[in-house]
A and B are shown apart, each in its own frame.
Chain A
Amino acid sequence: MELIKLKNLCKTYRLGEIEVPVLKGVSLMIRRGEMVALMGTSGSGKSTLMNILGCLDRPTSGQYWLDGQEVGQLSADDRAMVRNRKIGFVFQNFNLLTRTSALENVMMPLAYTAGHLNERECRERAQALLERVGLASRLDHHPSQLSGGQQQRVAIARALVNNPPLLFADEPTGNLDSATSEDILKMFQILNEEEGITIILVTHELDVARHARRIVRIRDGLIEDGSVEADTGKKTVHMAVSQ
C-alpha cells in the first residue's frame, strides 16, 4: 500500500507577469517502508517537489495523497498539523536551537502536538530517542558542544519524536565528512529496516543516493526515472549502481 501518491502534480511560480512552471505534471508513488532517494540537479524542481511532499507548500494543481489523506489543498494550519503528526524533517544544516540542550531540542516539536503528554513523558520519549541514535551520554550538551555528526543525530532524534511514518532528509550529509556521512546514512538504513519508517533522501550526490533502495530522478520538472517501484528494491539499487 502506498504512503505517498502524486497524480499529475503541477507547481507554477508567478513572478509578476511571467509564470514559471517548475513542476510539470509529476506522478509518483512511494510505498510504506520504502527508502527513496530524490535526485536532481539544481533548478530541476527537486526542492519544490520536496517542499510539496513535505507539506510546506501546496501544488498549483494535481493531487497529493499522504497516508490516504488528500493534503494538496489543505490550509496552512492543517498542513502544520500534518507535518507535526506524519512527517519528520532532517536538514542539511541541522537547524538545532542554539544554547538549548540536545534533550530540549528533541522535545521541541512535542510542544505543538495536542498536549496529551506531560512534561515527564515528553522527556522520557526524547531521552529514549537520543539513546537510540547513540547520544545517551550527551543529553545536556548544547549544539555548539557537539560534532556535526552528533548534531545531525540529534536532528534525527527530533524528527522521530512524534513517531512519524515519513522521514524527510534534505541533503542530510551535505555538511558532514565522508566517514560521518556513512554513519548517518547507515542510521537511516537501520531506521528504515528496523522501524519500517519511510525515508525520502533528497540529494544530488549519487554516493548518498545509493544508500536508498530506489532512486527517483527529476529533470526539468518531470520525473525522469523511478516514478514507481521496480519489482524489488535490490534491483533498483543495482540499476543505480550500474549507472
Chain B
Amino acid sequence: MKQLLRTLRMALNALRRNVMRSALTTLGIVIGVAAVIAMTEIGQGTSASVERAIKSMGANNLLIQPGSASSGGVTFGSGSVVTLTPMDGEAMKRECPALAAVAPIVRARVQVVSGNRNWVPLYIYGTTPTFLEVREWEDLEEGENFTDRDVSNGNRVCLLGKTVVRELFQDESPVGKEVRINNVSFKVIGVLSRRGANMMGLDQDDMLLAPWTAIKYRVSGASLASVNQSATVVQDPSQKVNTLSQLYPSQNVSLYPVPSASQIANNPQPVRFVNVDQILCRATSGEDIPLAIEQITELLHERHRIRDGQPDDFNIRDMTEISRTQRTTSNLITRLILIVALVSLMVGGVGIMNIMLVSVTERTREIGLRMAVGARARDILRQFLAEAIVLCMLGGLMGIILGRGVAIMVRKFLNWPTEISLLAIIGAVGVSAAVGVIFGYYPAWKASRLDPIEALRYE
C-alpha cells in the first residue's frame, strides 16, 4: 500500500515536471474517451428513439384473430369464424401479466360523409380507448380520446386520422363537427397525430376510430346479422331502387324459407350476441412476446373450452418482421459505436506510447541516475508504467467530463436524444487504464532495460 502510494506520488511528480507534455499526451485519451462517452450517449439516445419509433409501428403488438372455418375439406381462411368476444379481451387484460394493453377491434369499410365531401377510410375501427395505448399513439394532435363510458353507451363519437381530416375537412379543425358514417352521424372529438405509412405501405393516417359498440350496433349491423341468424335482416331501401341488385345480389339472399315463429322457438340457435373481428394487444416488452402468446393461448383454450389436441379456433400473430428490424437496428447501432470507440481509444493509446517512448529517451539520464542510486529494473518499469496509467486515468476522467459535456450540448442545442450510459463510463475508464498498461508497457520495459552506465553517460 505504502509502496503503491509512493509509486503514485512519484508518477504524479514526474508528470508535473512537464505539465505541457503530459497534457498533450493525455489529450489523445481525453478525446478518445470523450468520443466514446459522447458517441455512446448519443448513440444510445438514437437507438432508444429508433427503438421507440419501431415499437410504435407495433413491434410488441400481438394480433389475435378468429380461426378458420372449414366445411367438407374447404377452409375459408383466417377470420372466417366468429369466436372472439370483447369479454375475451377483458379476460386477457385481467389474467395475462405479460400484456400491457388489450383492445378489441371491430372493422368496417363504409363511406364517411361530411358536408358535400365523402371518403372511404382504409380503417374504420371500432375499439376501446386502450387502442391508442396498444399502438402507442396517445399523443393526439387535438381533442381527446373517447372514454370507456362512450364504449358502454355506444356513443356516436369518433377520432379521425390526418388523411381523413384532409379529405373531409381540407385540414380545417374537425373537432366538434359531425361526420356521417354509413348515414349515422358521429361527432368528431379528436384528431390522431400523423403516423404515415406502415411497413406494408398502407397509410395509417387513413383511419377512423370510434367506440366498438357504436360501430358494431349502429354502423355495421350486418356483421351481427350474419352471425345471429335470429336477428331480423334489415333491407337497405337504396338496394331496392338499384335494378342491378337483382343481377348481383349483394345483400343476404335467403336460401331457405323463412322459418316461422314456432320453428324458431323449437330450434334455438346458440346466440353469441357480441363478437369482435380481432383483438389487438401489446406485450410488456419484446422479450415477453413468447410468454404473452403462451398466456393468451392458455386463457383462450380455457375460455373457448378447447381440449388438448383439438384445433384452435383462433390464431395469434406477432410482428416478427418488425421486431427483427428493431433488433437488427439496435444491434447495428451498438456495433457501430463499439467500433468507433475502439478506434479512438487505439489512437489515443498509440499517442501515449509514442510520447512515453520519447519521454524514455529524453529521460535516459534520469533513469541512469535512478538506477545508480539503487533503483532496480522493476522499480523503473513500475514507475514508467504508473506514469502511463496515471496519464490514461486522468485522461479518462477528463474524457468522461468532456464527453458528458458534449452529450449535454448535443441534447441542448441540436435537440438530439441522448441517454446517459453508466456502462460506457465504467467501460471507458477500464479501457483507458488497460490502454495505459498495454501501451505504457513497452516504453517502460525499454526504460528498465537501460544500462545504468550508458544511461548516465547519455547526452
Q: Which residues of A pack against B, CB within 8 Å?
A: 51, 54, 56-57, 76-77, 80-81, 83-85, 89, 91, 95, 97-100, 104, 108-109, 111-113, 115, 118, 158-159, 162
B378 to chain A, nearest CB (A): 7
- Against A, the Cβ 8 Å flags (1 = close, 0 = not) of B357-395 are 000000001101111111111110000000000000000
A100 to chain B, nearest CB (A): 6
Known contacts A80-B376, A109-B374; A95/B365 CB under 8 A? yes
Known contacts A76-B377, A115-B3; A97/B17 CB under 8 A? yes
- Choice from A76, A80, A100 contacting B13 with Cβ under 8 Å: A100
CA distance A6 to B261 in the complex (A): 136
B424 to chain A, nearest CB (A): 37
A84 to chain B, nearest CB (A): 2
- Choice from A51, A98, A100, A113 contacting B374 with Cβ under 8 Å: A113
Residues of B within 8 A of A76 (CB): 376-377
CA distance A111 to B14 in the complex (A): 13
Question: Would you give 10 A-B contacts (Cβ < 8 Å), ordered by A?
Answer: A76-B377, A80-B371, A80-B377, A81-B376, A83-B373, A84-B374, A89-B373, A97-B17, A112-B379, A115-B3
- Whether B374 and A85, one on each chain, are in contact in the complex, defined by CB atoms closer than 8 angstroms, is yes
- Whether A97 and B372, one on each chain, are in contact in the complex, defined by CB atoms closer than 8 angstroms, is no
A123 to chain B, nearest CB (A): 12
- Whether B456 and A91, one on each chain, are in contact in the complex, defined by CB atoms closer than 8 angstroms, is yes
CA distance A83 to B452 in the complex (A): 12
Residues of A within 8 A of B366 (CB): 97
B100 on the A face (CB < 8 A): no
Known contacts A80-B376, A83-B374; A115/B6 CB under 8 A? yes
Residues of B within 8 A of A159 (CB): 373
CA distance A91 to B457 in the complex (A): 10
B18 on the A face (CB < 8 A): yes
Known contacts A98-B17, A111-B6, A112-B379; A81/B374 CB under 8 A? yes
CA distance A100 to B452 in the complex (A): 21
Known contacts A100-B17, A104-B13; A112/B456 CB under 8 A? no
B2 on the A face (CB < 8 A): yes
Residues of B within 8 A of A111 (CB): 6, 10
B453 on the A face (CB < 8 A): yes
Residues of B within 8 A of A109 (CB): 373-374
Question: Known contacts A83-B374, A109-B374; can you find 17 more A-B pairs with CB under 8 A?
Answer: A56-B456, A80-B375, A80-B377, A81-B374, A84-B374, A89-B373, A91-B369, A91-B456, A95-B369, A97-B366, A97-B369, A100-B13, A104-B13, A109-B373, A112-B370, A159-B373, A162-B373
Q: Of residues B2, B365, B369, B372, which shows the largest number of chain A Cβ atoms within 10 Å of its Cβ?
A: B372
Known contacts A91-B456, A108-B370; A99/B17 CB under 8 A? yes
CA distance A77 to B375 in the complex (A): 8
Residues of B within 8 A of A108 (CB): 370, 373
Q: Of residues B3, B13, B365, B376, which shows the largest number of chain A Cβ atoms within 10 Å of its Cβ?
A: B376
- Choice from B372, B377, B453 contacting A83 with Cβ under 8 Å: B372
Residue ID in chain B nearest A54 by CB atoms: B372
Known contacts A80-B371, A99-B17, A100-B17; A56/B376 CB under 8 A? no
CA distance A80 to B374 in the complex (A): 4
CA distance A51 to B78 in the complex (A): 96
Residues of A within 8 A of B378 (CB): 77
Residues of A within 8 A of B17 (CB): 97-100
Known contacts A95-B456, A115-B2; A89/B18 CB under 8 A? no
Residue ID in chain B nearest A57 by CB atoms: B453
Residues of A within 8 A of B6 (CB): 111, 115
List 3 A-B pairs, minimum CB-CB distance, nearest first: A84-B374, A109-B373, A99-B17
CA distance A169 to B6 in the complex (A): 29
CA distance A99 to B452 in the complex (A): 22
B21 to chain A, nearest CB (A): 12
A25 to chain B, nearest CB (A): 21
Residue ID in chain B nearest A158 by CB atoms: B373
Residues of B within 8 A of A158 (CB): 373
Known contacts A97-B366, A99-B17, A99-B18; A89/B372 CB under 8 A? yes
Q: Of residues B16, B369, B373, which shows the largest number of chain A Cβ atoms within 10 Å of its Cβ?
A: B373
Residues of B within 8 A of A85 (CB): 374
Residue ID in chain A nearest B17 by CB atoms: A99
Residues of B within 8 A of A113 (CB): 374
Known contacts A57-B453, A100-B13, A100-B17; A112/B375 CB under 8 A? yes
CA distance A77 to B380 in the complex (A): 11
CA distance A85 to B376 in the complex (A): 13
Residues of A within 8 A of B373 (CB): 83-84, 89, 108-109, 112, 158-159, 162
